[in-house]
Structure 1
């Protein structure tokens, strides 16, 4: 029995490792903003990070915004990020390649990432 359990654990490991690399990254199209969005391609969860200066320090910090309203993990799908190519736009589109629905995701109040309700 212990060998069966070990075999199950070994066989399960590659699947977990494959899921760990299931992210897509896309820079916001706004040309004076150094923000990058992160997408979990299976759940649609969206977060973002950017470089920030901290007063009194010579090296900046990475400011990250967690998923907030509409940006948290949802139903499994095949999600992707798309830039509008509008140089003044700070957000990106989250698209579900299976259903064709789209949301616009952006950093809301400098606290979290928010996404509009999906629409077609």
Structure 2
């Protein structure tokens, strides 16, 4: 009984680490309804926004990771939006090293600049 309880406790604590953990932030541009997301472990960035079809129905438009926005070295990533109200991009920050990239939607994907300090 003790052994199975210990195994169950181990599985419960290990479970969340196996799942994806994301951070979400809105683009600072006041007239843009775009939300960015980053995988906290891999640094992969994507974005979605609301769109309207020709028949006036709503649709969620999502932009996958493109150049520079894909998986990075494992780390502790977050997103930060500037306070510049005309800016549509966000910063991807690796919190352990302090490196940053600027990420934005270009055509049909999210791209990020090379990381810098």
Normalised by the length of structure 2, the TM-score is: 0.86
State the superposition RMSD in angstroms.
1.9
TM superposition outliers: structure 1 runs of 4+ over 2 Å: 10-21
* SS of residue in 2 equivalent to 1:94: strand
1:67 alignment counterpart:
65
* SS of residue in 2 equivalent to 1:52: strand
1:116 alignment counterpart:
113
* SS of residue in 1 equivalent to 2:62: strand
**Count of residue pairs the alignment pairs up:** 112
Gaps of 5+ in 2: 1-6
1:50 alignment counterpart:
49
The Cα offsets for residues 59-107 of structure 1, whole Å up to 9 and x where unpaired, read as: 3000000000000011100111111110000000000111111000000
Within 5 Å, give how 1:70-81 maps onto structure 2. Answer: 70-81=68-79
How far did 1:16 drift?
4.4
The worse-fitting range, judged by mean Cα deviation, of 86-95 and 11-20 is 11-20
